[in-house]
């Protein structure tokens, strides 16, 4: 389990039940000005990420979000609205909403349109940092829809052959429904690694691979302390990841008429009262409208059995489909609680100080 290791002199804190963590995060959001409904929608993806062991995109993000909400860089009373639409598409203005709230509205619109015409594209502009794109894809997949989700961000990733940052880490995620089971899903940064993992490694005093960062000369570096002022993230798989990052920029920012590259603000480093103009793009289609449900279920079951039944390499216990590891961790968290790492617990204590909420569980 991806938890925290501590010496016997400092025993690990008890895991936190999912319901307890959810209630605390919702209360923090309410104290920052969100309605109870919006607080629930904002807390859900953060806690789900933690429960899956993806701690870089879970409640660790909470202090930055709360500061933006309190200072109204992200508007607690934001009302995302449709500004362009047709039967199978829409563009939403997020009204400087918290990214999780903007995404909630966008997915709602995408699902409604896909139910009506089978396939839908929704662009979301002028929202906040969207966090884990995969949780949005999972939400759609749980309702029987395939979803592709992309976003853009402030440049932090080098292009193939560049000295400095050209694109954001521009996430790409997709989720596919599995009849009677957990969705297959993938959530990746188009950088070699998410920036949050660099911050986490530096905070924990851990080394990083030289494949994660590019220095100011355009050369690989293993010095995590250089990021982000004096180093940029390497693109995932070189020119391939760079090309996918451009696709994410196009689908989320350019097509939706939103901010691109340096027009997008930093939710961490800009003044908390400034909006960040993040964007996201969603392509959703109704699997039951396109595929015969019985044939789809049979084909997917056969495919999954073949993949999971493949011979495992030395040192590997078995072959998994995308998302299997996260669902295994999720079920463990449901049963035993979430063993939050020390750096996440420190961020929750910081979040509690921002909204005057006790974090000593």
Note the pLDDT tens digit of each residue in 116-127: 999 999 999 999
> Domains along the chain?
1-70+324-361 (1.10.1530.10), 81-191+236-288 (3.30.1370.60)
Q: What is the mean pLDDT of residues 240-262?
A: 98
pLDDT at 154: 96
Structure tokens at 182: 């957990």
Least confident range of 1-15, 87-101, 164-178, 198-212: 1-15
9 — pLDDT class (breaks 50, 70, 90): low
Rounded CA separation 326/329 (Å): 5
4 — pLDDT class (breaks 50, 70, 90): very low
Q: What are phi and psi of 228, to 5 degrees?
A: -100, -5
Rounded CA separation 170/150 (Å): 7
Q: In Å, how far are 58, 155, 191, 234, 275 from 165, measured between CA atoms?
A: 25, 5, 11, 9, 21
pLDDT at 158: 97
Question: Is 329's pLDDT higher than 90?
Answer: yes
Answering whether pTM is above 0.85, one says yes
Percent of the chain with pLDDT strictly greater than 90 = 93
With b for 16 or more beta-carbon neighbours within 10 A and e for fewer, the 217-245 pattern comes to eeeebeebebbbeebbbbbbeeeebbebb
Question: Is 286's pLDDT higher than 80?
Answer: yes
pLDDT at 137: 98
Q: In Å, how far are 97, 193, 226, 243 from 219, measured between CA atoms?
A: 37, 16, 13, 20
Q: Could you tell me which of 355, 300, 60 has the C-alpha nearest to residue 178?
A: 300
Q: Note whether 149 and 174 are within 8 A (CB).
A: yes
Q: What are phi and psi of 335, to 5 degrees?
A: -80, -40
């Amino acid at each position: 389990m991806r938890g925290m290791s501590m010496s016997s002199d400092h025993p690990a804190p008890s895991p936190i039940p999912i319901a307890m963590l959810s209630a605390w995060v919702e209360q923090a959001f309410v104290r920052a000005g969100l309605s109870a409904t919006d607080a629930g929608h904002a807390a859900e993806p953060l806690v789900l990420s933690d429960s899956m062991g993806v701690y870089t995109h879970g409640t660790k993000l909470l202090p930055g979000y709360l500061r933006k909400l309190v200072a109204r860089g992200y508007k607690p009373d934001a009302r995302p609205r449709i500004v362009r639409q047709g039967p199978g598409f829409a563009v939403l203005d997020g009204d400087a909403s918290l990214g999780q709230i903007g995404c909630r509205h966008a997915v709602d619109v995408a699902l409604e349109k896909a139910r009506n015409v089978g396939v839908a594209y929704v662009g979301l502009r002028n929202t906040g940092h969207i966090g884990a794109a995969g949780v949005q894809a999972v939400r759609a997949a749980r309702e029987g829809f395939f979803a592709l989700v992309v976003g853009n961000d402030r440049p932090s990733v080098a292009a193939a052959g560049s000295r400095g940052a050209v694109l954001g880490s521009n996430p790409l995620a997709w989720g596919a429904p599995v009849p009677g089971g957990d969705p297959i899903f993938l959530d990746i940064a188009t950088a070699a690694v998410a920036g949050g993992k660099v911050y986490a490694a530096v905070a924990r005093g851990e080394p990083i691979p030289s494949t994660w960062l590019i220095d100011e000369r355009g050369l690989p570096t293993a010095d995590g302390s250089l990021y982000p002022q004096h180093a940029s993230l390497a693109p995932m798989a070189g020119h391939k990841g760079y090309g996918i990052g451009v696709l994410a920029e196009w689908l989320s920012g350019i097509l939706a008429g939103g901010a691109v590259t340096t027009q997008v603000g930093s939710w961490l480093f800009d003044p908390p009262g400034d909006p960040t103009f993040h964007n996201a793009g969603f392509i959703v289609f109704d699997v039951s409208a396109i595929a015969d449900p019985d044939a789809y279920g049979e084909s997917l079951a056969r495919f999954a059995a073949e993949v999971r039944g493949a011979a495992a390499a030395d040192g590997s216990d078995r072959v998994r489909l995308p998302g299997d590891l996260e669902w295994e961790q999720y079920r463990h968290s449901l049963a035993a609680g979430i063993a939050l790492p020390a750096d996440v617990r420190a961020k929750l204590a910081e979040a509690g100080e921002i909204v005057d909420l006790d974090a000593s569980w």
